[in-house]
A and B are shown apart, each in its own frame.
Chain A
Amino acid sequence: MKAGFHRLRLLWLALLGLGWTTTLSFGAVVVQSSTIDAVTNGYDMAGAFNQSYDETPRPVWNENQPEMADEGTFFGSTAQFNAAKTTPPTVDRIRQVAQQGYDYAVQNPRVPGLNRMELGKDAEIQATRWTRRWAERYGVDLGPGGLQFQVRGANSVPDMVYNPATQTFDFKLTPKAFKPAQHRNFQSDFPGYGIDYIYGP
């Protein structure tokens, strides 16, 4: 009974892991197009929105993550758990902050009445700003030796490049915006770099 429960729990965790991935993986990404439609059609309902496009964005990342209730199951000691909890690779933290920021921004555009093209841009701008501020706050280097934004290659401009981990990120409103030609351009402009696409909710 106990072993069965454990297997079920591991299966559930594995499924959650797939749901969280942002790496290009056609099988793992689920598009909730109804959500996008609702967002793109529902701006006028957000009557309270009267913010300037340049207004300082509100922080959305969660700085008070809840404790894991059962860390002892996965970690041999409290010290091990704390180390794993507080020091995930910076590139993973960047990915997580960017994803959270983009999800929020897509659902909360600063200006009502944006078309899909502008919604994608507005969300990219907001998520980029939040990620930059998060990086500044948590001591992540910015610039050519660290995290850069809108980096020009010969034939592509990825939204974010994290050089220490040789990783690029690009925001896409939906997986439909993935373009094989652009992907190849990222690969040739940034050889050896990984490419992660951060999709909207």
Chain B
Amino acid sequence: MNVENLFVNGGSQASVAEIVARCLENSTEQPDWELPSSYSPLLVGDPKRKVAISPETDGWTAIVESKEVVDFGMAKLLADELGGTAVVVQVSDAIGAMGKLIYRHGGIVACAFDENAPDPLNNGRAVLRKESIPFDLLMFREAVQMVGDGWMVKQRP
């Protein structure tokens, strides 16, 4: 499994969706976070870019890009505007790596990228458990299948 997921708290699904829509319309400024970023090659110029947004669950909302990478600018904007926390989890079984970043109140609380993660998928899940995030790591196609359960999909206009 090779995915990057974003989770935020502090806002409703509607408020998250409004900010996501703005990020899809206008490119975000990328913060200098010490995780590998694929925003420039994969997201910035993608006319088909889509973002799946979960219903709010226990205060948390999951955000899954169609390319399954995270827009760090969007993550920062969501946390700043909602006054909450953004959690980024990167899992790459292809290279055996796991990355995590927790951003809260304008600052990075935790950031690590381990290219020798002993079990990337379950190491990533452990981050979610530690932060009490009630979601699993998801692929975009799995998120889209849950549209009937309250998930929504925003597309670049």
- In the bound assembly, the distance between CA atoms of A116 and B46 in angstroms comes to 20
Do B41 and A117 touch across chains, with their CB atoms under 8 A apart?
Answer: no
What is the chain B residue whose CB lies nearest that of A116?
B95
Q: Tell which of A60-68, A88-96, A171-179 binds the partner.
A: A171-179
Contact of A114 among B38, B48, B139 (CB under 8 A): B38
- In the bound assembly, the distance between CA atoms of A182 and B90 in angstroms comes to 16
Interface size, chain A (Cβ < 8 Å): 33
Do A172 and B42 touch across chains, with their CB atoms under 8 A apart?
Answer: no
Do B119 and A185 touch across chains, with their CB atoms under 8 A apart?
Answer: yes
- In the bound assembly, the distance between CA atoms of A53 and B68 in angstroms comes to 12
Q: Tell which of A10-18, A118-126, A134-142, A160-168 binds the partner.
A: A118-126
Query: A151 to chain B: closest CB distance in Å?
Result: 10
Question: SS class of chain B's interface: helix, strand, loop or mixed?
Answer: loop
Residues of A contacting B92 in the complex (Cβ-Cβ under 8 angstroms)? 117, 120-121
What is the chain A residue whose CB lies nearest that of B113?
A117
The answer to whether residues A182 and B93 also contact, given A155-B121, A155-B122 and a CB cut-off of 8 A, is: yes
Do B40 and A121 touch across chains, with their CB atoms under 8 A apart?
Answer: no
Taking beta carbons and an 8 Å cutoff, which residues of A are in contact with B?
52-54, 111-121, 123-124, 150, 155-157, 170-174, 176-182, 185
24 pairs, CB–CB < 8 Å, chain A vs chain B: A53-B46, A53-B67, A54-B48, A112-B41, A114-B42, A116-B36, A117-B92, A120-B2, A120-B92, A121-B68, A121-B92, A123-B94, A124-B2, A150-B139, A172-B94, A173-B94, A173-B95, A174-B95, A177-B94, A177-B95, A179-B93, A179-B117, A179-B120, A185-B119
Please give 19 more A-B residue pairs, beta carbons under 8 A apart, in addition to A117-B36, A119-B94, A182-B120.
A53-B46, A53-B67, A54-B48, A112-B41, A113-B41, A115-B37, A115-B38, A117-B2, A117-B92, A118-B36, A118-B69, A123-B94, A172-B93, A172-B94, A176-B95, A179-B119, A179-B120, A182-B121, A185-B122
